[in-house]
Amino acid sequence: MSLAADPESNPLLEALPTTRAAAPCAVVLFGVTGDLAHRKLMPALFEHARAGRLPADFAIVGFARREWTDHDFRADYEPVLAKRGGRDFAEVWARFAPRLVFAPGKFDDIESYHNLRKTLDRLDQTHGTAGNRVFYLAVSPEYFAPIITRLGEAGLIYPRRQETPFSRVVIEKPFGHDLATAHALNRDVSQVLDENQVYRIDHYLGKETVQNILALRFGNSIFEPIWNRRHVRSVQLVVAEEVGMPGGRGGYYDTSGALRDMVQNHMMQLLSLVAMEPPADLSADAVRNEKVKVLESLPRWSAGDVYRNVVRAQYTNGSMQGEEVVGYHQEKGVASDSTTETYVAIRLELNNWRWAGVPFLLRTGKRLPKRATEIAIQFDKPPTALFEPEDGSLGGANELVLRIQPDEGASLRFEAKVPGSRRRLQAVRMDFRYGAAFATPSPEAYERLLLDVMLGDPTLFTRTDEVESAWRFVSQIHEAWAQPGAPLPDLYPAGSYGPASADRLIEDVGRWRRL
């Protein structure tokens, strides 16, 4: 099964650029001494250097509180990047290291930003960065607004709508804690930056398998005509995690929960890509306009609607791969009386023409049996039953499954006759795997997204109205849970697929998929 189409017959695919070259620029990493920079950002930039995708005139500026020199900065990252291996490491590092420059400073100190500006002006002369700036905020959310404000006060953000030279700011998730805080943060950001200068990052959108949702839908004529309420019975989206609270993460997670941590961002993005209308082309605004329409069609619920359509739960002690693990309340940093959900299941219907009446079933949780992200589209059964279904058969209901991670690919389940004299059917599967189909491995999500920022392509980044539309839906659920008399979280043992109470959300259309 192919996820591509002939560009000559598809105007959407014709819009894809064939070659892209980034302009000279300096990337400033705020929080460069932190975990995200060490695990994802700097390795992604190093891989771009290895592959020759960085411009010749380029610099990486680390901004953090430590009183480091350039030498200290380079010495800290050399062993980190050396772990990526490769016989060419020494050669690539020799080219990469001189591009690393450290600028000590404090996030709330305006003088630090004036010094940063001097450093960047110097790099324009010594490294040829041409005045182009990318500021990456790999910091805690409470620093987003103060840093952007200081960048503006120090003259590090160019006038609105200025394209050359450019200044762009990348903001990590979570973007707000609820609708009110997201709106306030958007207001603060808009006082300094124009929308075209803001890149709100969700690393899920950088995954090749997520981007291929559009290719599968709009690049293959066998799917688009049946991608609607007339042929689709239900859609399931699942993001399952095996882990509990590693590294003492319980204290942070207890203020967030599954709804904020997964549903508001990752799952809303997957939902919008699966359900969106065909865009006029693949330009950033065309794609994001259609995604916003999906998010704006999410239901408006009363508290009673939330209690009927949403199930929340917490894991208790159980067994994971033969090892006993503690329950959520026993995790370090978690309050003994916490009602924070580690699992949430949602049934919703979109209020639009294409999907009216089709249930979308979302499910995510910690301490589930397997780590997996999948989207399953179950199609309607044929109008008449001419054959005898085998046990375990879908009874004529075809199913398309998109595997986002791991084991990236797609599979189509359909019915085939079992050999013999009887007219019996059995579900069989056609399978496509990225690893087997393509000679080159998919790039890491952050590699793709960082390159897109440097190229000025915001397609895979969320816009103001996207963020607020997703928060509007999620916040109404939180508000219902906060009301007096709201049902407390159900319980499920670690290593299970979640609480039995979630089965009521899907009983009229089938059952939850086993991963």
- Residue 52 belongs to domain with CATH number: 3.40.50.720
Structural domain that includes position 448? 205-455+463-505
Looking at the structure, do residues 91 and 213 belong to the same domain, yes or no? Answer: no
Write the secondary structure of 26-55 as one string of H (helix), E (strand) and C (coil). EEEEECCCCHHHHHHHHHHHHHHHHHCCCC
Find the mean pLDDT for residues 487-500: 96
Looking at the structure, do residues 210 and 94 belong to the same domain, yes or no? Answer: no
| Residue 179 vs residue 163, higher pLDDT | 179
Catalytic-labelled residue, pool 71, 266, 329, 478: 266
Does residue 195 belong to any structural domain of this protein?
no
Does residue 189 belong to any structural domain of this protein?
no
| pLDDT value of residue 7 | 39
Q: Can 48 be counted among the known catalytic residues?
A: no
Give the domain-ending residue among 125, 157, 172.
172
Question: In terms of Cα–Cα distance, which of 355, 25, 19 is closest to 158?
Answer: 25
**Domain containing residue 379: CATH number:** 3.30.360.10
Does residue 403 belong to any structural domain of this protein?
yes
| Single-letter amino acid code for the residue at 23 | A
Does residue 177 belong to any structural domain of this protein?
no
Question: In terms of Cα–Cα distance, which of 247, 267, 281, 246 is closest to 13?
Answer: 281
Looking at the structure, do residues 166 and 214 belong to the same domain, yes or no? Answer: no
What is the number of domains present in the chain? Answer: 2
What is the Cα–Cα distance from 68 to 66, expressed in whole angstroms?
Answer: 5
Find the mean pLDDT for residues 245-264: 89
Looking at the structure, do residues 152 and 47 belong to the same domain, yes or no? Answer: yes
The model's confidence at residue 174, banded by pLDDT at 50, 70 and 90, is: confident
Residue 13's H or E segment, with its range, is: helix 11-14
Q: What is the pLDDT of residues 54-104, one digit of tens each?
A: 888 999 999 999 989 999 999 999 999 998 777 889 999 999 999 999 999
Does residue 186 belong to any structural domain of this protein?
no
Looking at the structure, do residues 442 and 490 belong to the same domain, yes or no? Answer: yes
Looking at the structure, do residues 124 and 245 belong to the same domain, yes or no? Answer: no
Q: Is the overall model pTM greater than 0.95, yes or no? A: no
Looking at the structure, do residues 154 and 69 belong to the same domain, yes or no? Answer: yes
- The distance of Cα 364 from the centroid of its chain, to the nearest Å, equals 14
Does residue 183 belong to any structural domain of this protein?
no
